[in-house]
Amino acid sequence: MALTRLTLPAANAGQHTVINVHHFGPENGQKVYIQAGLHADEHPGLLVAQHLIEQLSALETNHQLHAHFVVVPYANPIGLKQRSFGKVVGRCDWHTGQNFNRGMALDRDAFSGEFAAQFSADTAANDQRMRTSLREMVNQRLVGFEVESLHKLLLSQSIDAHYVIDLHCDVVALPHVFYGSHQPDEGRLLARCLNFPVCLEEDVTGTVAFDATHTQPWVLTQQHLTDTAFEQPCFAATVELRGNADVSDELAKQDCDGLLAFFAAKDLISGLPPAQPSTVAQTAIAVEQVKLINATAPGIVTYHCQLNDHVRRGDKIADIVLLDEPMPTRVAIIAPCDGLVFSLTNEFYVSPGQTLAMLATDEVQNKAGSQLAF
Ligand SMILES: [Zn+2]
């Protein structure tokens, strides 16, 4: 085990911001990168990372690791400092407004036909060449704002990994996983190992978050080639650890064990007890099949559905009680389609456009590549 502490360029006189990077296992094979808290107001992952550090340390001592595991237990110390009247407001950078989990993708134009032309029939050599190119692109990135420095520093640790896991959470939600729609087998295996019921499969060629920043270059390059160019392109996933109040050692241990079971299934860890079979039915859909249920009026919400409900078209999802009518008046929010309620925002005073719930549905609801949250 090794711990390195990396310092961001100072954004303010007298302030130095440090990120810890924990390393486990042999460094001459595959690389696994796991981080928590890029959205600094999402805290379940911070505890899962601590469980991972403990477990990976023991596994390393027992020579059970067959890959290099890198754990960044708090990926966003800038966001952690953004405390307002007691609450951490860590989704977007206060200085620039930038969502910490957007805006770090490598230049899409770099993965052109000319770039693709350097790859040959030797897929293993192609993998190495791609990872070298990715490291160089990150190293050469020019940065200004502190959030850009943060992204560069994180990518410098992660961009060449074979597996990238970014730990997040929702507000009130069933546990779910996002990953590229080009890697359904690995994504669904990850969800089964975690015992998570919902898989959201994403077109990674458009706007991307941290996870797909790692898979997009491989996919864009492959699009210029007829034969399969790569042996083991990066697999990356955003793991949504339920809601932000779901912080407990019991859940963190369960999620840590699920992640380790996934890596054991990939032969990167040996000697673990057999994973428990998944006990939940798996719903795997494209991200475009998520229906956002939005508020249509300002007021107080009373919810008529719960997580894991299967609502039918026409069911009442919520009432919005208007506050400025002569007598109490309610606006019903009706499900426009069938779907599984997998996320609730549990906001009780809302404005028009604000999301109340998300449904996993059988039909395309949004344009490919559209974002579910700002
Ligand atoms: Zn998040």
Q: What confidence tens digit (pLDDT) does each residue in 13-52 have?
A: 999 999 999 999 999 999 999 999 999 999 999 999 999 9
Residue 252 lies in a domain: yes
Q: What is the mean pLDDT of the segment spanning 106-117? A: 97
Q: Which amino acid, one-letter code, is at 7?
A: T
Cβ atoms within 10 A of the Cβ of 334, count? 14
Q: What is the mean pLDDT of the segment spanning 79-83? A: 97
Q: Which amino acid, one-letter code, is at 217?
A: P
- The CATH number linked to 138 is 3.40.630.10
Ligand 1: centre distance to CA 22 (Å):
22
CB 345 within 8 A of CB 171: yes
Same structural domain, 317 and 255: no
Alpha-carbon span 48 to 252, nearest angstrom? 5
Same structural domain, 176 and 259: yes
Ligand 1: centre distance to CA 87 (Å):
16
**Domain end point (choices 249, 281, 313):** 281
Please say if the pLDDT value at position 339 is more than 90.
Answer: yes
Alpha-carbon span 199 to 165, nearest angstrom? 14
What is the DSSP code (8-state) at residue 204?
T
Please say if the pLDDT value at position 370 is more than 80.
Answer: no
Same structural domain, 353 and 230: no
Ligand 1: centre distance to CA 168 (Å):
4
Residue 213 lies in a domain: yes
Label residue 135 by pLDDT band (50, 70, 90): very high
Mean pLDDT, the chain, integer? 96
Q: Burial of 328 by CB count in 10 Å (0-12 exposed, 13-18 middle, 19+ buried)? A: exposed
Q: What is the mean pLDDT of the segment spanning 313-329? A: 97
Alpha-carbon span 288 to 367, nearest angstrom? 6
290-294 and 355-360 beta bridge pairing = antiparallel
Ligand 1: centre distance to CA 167 (Å):
8
CB 179 within 8 A of CB 235: yes
Question: For residue 178, what pLDDT is reported?
Answer: 98
**Residues recorded for the chain:** 374
CA distance between the termini of the chain:
37
Question: For residue 374, what pLDDT is reported?
Answer: 72
Number of domains in the chain: 2
Q: What is the mean pLDDT of the segment spanning 173-180? A: 98
Please say if the pLDDT value at position 347 is more than 90.
Answer: no
Which residue range forms the structural domain that includes residue 353? 288-360
Q: What is the mean pLDDT of the segment spanning 342-367? A: 94
